[in-house]
């Protein structure tokens, strides 16, 4: 099987007339979502669980099995098997790479190839794939197919390494150009990145990190927080098939239709989720203040939304409550009221681990604690 030769991005043909209804609906849906973001008084706190969920689901598309709750539990000190730990590390790296990417944008407010390499380096640090040219565009031929397949029976062979920079330069120019519609441009950018497959590992995850980054950099969203992996994961087979049909059938039209539909549906879901989180935050603001009668109540609330699974030592440190007895007394009040649950008792040098089940169950969309 020969390496694929991508179409130059400005030569991609689409029937824009047929796309007009989806263009209108997707732009309206994303505009409504951006409006919901503008109403967040403390977005870094309220969006933290959604960002973590995005990292979990984007990694799950690539085969990780860890849940969001397990990620939180591990970060609070709970032990897991080596394989599960590796999955959790990949998810944590995804979050770190996302935050890193935002900081890089502040340094240079456009998406460029050096930034892509730097993000990739963070994404694969200390995890599976780390030794596969982390932070470097590939210099050898790769292919996609079932385990044990070779290039002859692969389902897809990306462009040859000696041609890679030509296609990446074209991609970079297109990313930073003006286009007839920003969301169609984003759909083309995402698909072409996966088609080029510039790294030996991590292409899917990095390509999905670029989605909110692109919208933020273009000024479409006021913050780089748009969560599309839930839709891709729920429609994983169709997601991969539509991408594959671009290379097999040159069917860009169906891919863009799928992508715009994803934006419409997920924008609406994200708006609902933001409202649910805001409602819980406001409810807990009153409940925690009345329960603790403490000057630390607001800080406690914010800490629980960022760390919905937390051990007693972390709780004291994050809330800046220096006296251990005071911190433990507050934890006991929160537990007695049912605001948090003790999920693992202290043992030896290991402290108690608590869970803010109200938030976890809301984000996971099922009872997990």
Question: What residue spans define the domains of the chain?
Answer: 9-270, 293-364
- The residue written with tokens 């989806």 in the block is 22
List the beta bridge partners of residue 353: 311, 344
3-state secondary structure of 253: helix
For 71, which DSSP code?
A: H
Q: How confident is the model at residue 129 (pLDDT cuts 50, 70, 90)?
A: confident
CA quadruple 91, 93, 94, 95: dihedral sign = positive
- Is pLDDT above 90 for 270? yes
Q: How confident is the model at residue 159 (pLDDT cuts 50, 70, 90)?
A: very high
Q: How is domain 293-364 classified at the architecture level of CATH?
A: Orthogonal Bundle (1.10)
Q: How confident is the model at residue 147 (pLDDT cuts 50, 70, 90)?
A: confident
Fold category of 9-270 in CATH: Fic-like fold (1.10.3290)
Q: From 133, 11, 73, 92, select the one nearest 353 (Cα to Cα).
A: 73
- The answer to whether 305 touches 68, Cβ cutoff 8 Å, is no
- The residue written with tokens 């599309």 in the block is 228
> What is the model's pLDDT at position 117?
98
Q: How much is the average pLDDT of 15-19? A: 98
- The answer to whether 229 touches 54, Cβ cutoff 8 Å, is yes
In the numeric block, which tokens belong to residue 350? 């290991």
Q: From 53, 35, 24, select the one nearest 261 (Cα to Cα).
A: 24
- The answer to whether 291 touches 337, Cβ cutoff 8 Å, is yes
In the numeric block, which tokens belong to residue 285? 């603001």
**Tell me: the pLDDT tens digits for 84-118?**
999 999 999 999 999 999 999 999 999 999 999 99
Contacts with 240 (C-beta within 8 Å, 6 or more apart), sequence order = none
Radius of gyration of the chain (CA): 22
Q: Which helix (H) or strand (E) holds 315?
A: helix 312-319
| CA count, 13 A, side-chain hemisphere, 200 | 15
**Tell me: the pLDDT tens digits for 168-190?**
999 999 999 999 999 999 999 99
Residue 368 sits at φ, ψ, to 5 deg, of: -110, -20
For 162, which DSSP code?
A: G
- Is pLDDT above 90 for 146? no
> What is the model's pLDDT at position 296?
97
* Distance linking the first and last C-alpha atoms of the chain: 49
- The answer to whether 302 touches 263, Cβ cutoff 8 Å, is no
For the chain, give the percent of residues with pLDDT over 70.
100
- Kindly report the pTM of this predicted structure: 0.95
C-alpha 327/C-alpha 205 separation (Å) is 39
């Amino acid at each position: 099987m020969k390496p694929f030769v991508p179409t130059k991005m400005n030569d991609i043909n689409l029937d824009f007339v047929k796309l007009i209804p989806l263009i209108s609906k997707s732009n309206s849906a994303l505009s409504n979502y951006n409006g919901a973001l503008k109403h967040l008084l403390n977005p870094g706190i309220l969006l933290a669980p959604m960002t973590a969920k995005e990292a979990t689901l984007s990694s799950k598309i690539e085969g990780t099995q860890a849940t969001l709750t397990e990620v939180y539990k591990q970060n609070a000190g709970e032990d897991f098997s080596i394989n599960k730990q590796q999955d959790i590390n990949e998810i944590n790296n995804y979050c770190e790479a996302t935050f890193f990417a935002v900081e890089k944008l502040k340094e240079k407010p456009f998406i460029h190839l050096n930034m892509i390499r730097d993000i990739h380096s963070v994404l694969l640090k200390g995890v599976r794939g780390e030794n596969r040219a982390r932070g470097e565009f590939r210099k050898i031929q790769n292919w996609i197919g079932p385990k044990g397949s070779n290039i002859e029976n692969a389902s897809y062979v990306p462009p040859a390494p000696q041609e890679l920079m030509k296609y990446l330069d074209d991609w970079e120019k297109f990313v930073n150009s003006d286009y007839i519609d920003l969301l169609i441009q984003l759909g083309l950018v995402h698909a072409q990145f996966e088609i080029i497959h510039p790294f030996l590992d991590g292409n899917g995850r990095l390509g999905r990190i670029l989605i909110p980054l692109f919208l933020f950099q273009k000024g479409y969203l006021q913050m780089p927080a748009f969560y599309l992996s839930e839709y891709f994961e729920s429609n994983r087979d169709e997601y991969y098939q539509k991408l594959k049909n671009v290379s097999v059938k040159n069917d860009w039209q169906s891919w863009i239709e799928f992508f715009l539909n994803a934006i419409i549906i997920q924008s609406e879901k994200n708006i609902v989720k933001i409202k649910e989180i805001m409602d819980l935050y406001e409810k807990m603001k009153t409940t925690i203040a009345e329960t603790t009668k403490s000057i630390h109540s607001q800080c406690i609330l914010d800490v629980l939304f960022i760390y919905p699974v937390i051990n007693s030592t972390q709780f004291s440190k994050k809330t800046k409550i220096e006296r251990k007895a005071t911190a433990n007394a507050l934890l006991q009040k929160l537990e007695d009221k049912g605001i948090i649950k003790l999920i693992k008792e202290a043992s030896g040098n290991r402290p108690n681990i608590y869970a803010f089940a109200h938030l976890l169950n809301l984000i996971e969309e099922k009872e997990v604690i």
